[in-house]
Amino acid sequence: MTRLIFLGPPGSGKGTQAAQLANNEQIPHISTGELLRKAVEDKTSLGLKVQSYLDEGELVPDKVVEDLVKERLSKSDASSGWILDGFPRNVVQAEFLDKLLEEVGQWTDWAIAMEVPDDVIVDRLRERGRSDDSEETIRHRLEVYREKTAPLIDFYRGRGQLKSVNGNQPIADVAAALKQAIGS
Ligand code: AP5
């Protein structure tokens, strides 16, 4: 059973590694960014509500993502493990997740902190070119990460639940380091 949280700045490789590991372990990869982008693409009422936050690199209001995660974790395929990618993103969301998991008798095994220097991130994301990958928005996302999400590293470290992985190496080497970190 694997239950992991992927932390790390934008472009650190959370999505790449989470997708691969989830596929290997046959568990759902739950990316709040992807769920939100899909809503925007489908022009649902949720999508219309959140589009400006994504465009500007701001965090979407907590309640919106908390509802999405609650709904997704309640599906049957998530009963035997999951990888949360991009959630929680601040202490309020982390406390929400604790409470939610407690209610269903689950827990988080590890929070994985992916470490990559800022200049590498900016190069990677500029090359990718997603709609929120302009240099200005990337820099803003990095600021939001430092202010709101980075405190979660100490939050999980303090509970003995943190593993750090060097994300600044080839994708296969990151995957091997990750595997070693979680002991799978
Ligand atoms: P989200 O989708 O979570 O984006 P992000 O955190 O900015 O992360 P990215 O997808 O940019 O990067 P990643 O770390 O997943 O790296 P990836 O593997 O893609 O969130 C987007 C927005 O949604 C937020 O700004 C916010 O508005 C909203 N949101 C989401 N969750 C929220 C929440 N919980 N609360 C509130 N708002 C929320 O890789 C990036 C690139 O690098 C790719 O091109 C990849 O091919 C490449 N790459 C990956 N690994 C390597 C490697 N080892 N070497 C070289 N290249 C690599």
CB count in 10 Å sphere of residue 104: 12
Residue 1 confidence (pLDDT) above 90: no
Q: Is 113 in the pocket of ligand 1 (CB under 6 A)?
A: no
Cα 60 from Cα 36, distance rounded (Å): 9
Cα 8 from Cα 115, distance rounded (Å): 7
Q: Is 15 in the pocket of ligand 1 (CB under 6 A)?
A: yes
Q: Is 86 in the pocket of ligand 1 (CB under 6 A)?
A: yes
Q: Phi and psi for 160 in degrees, rounded to 5? A: 70, 25
- Residues 67-75 have a mean pLDDT of 97
- Ligand 1, from 5, 16, 23, 138: best to mutate by most atoms within 8 Å of Cβ? 16
Assigned token pair, 19 = 């997708």
CB count in 10 Å sphere of residue 71: 10
Please give the model's pTM, rounded to 2 decimal places: 0.97
Q: What is the pLDDT of residue 184?
A: 66
Residue 15 confidence (pLDDT) above 90: yes
Q: What is the pLDDT of residue 28?
A: 98
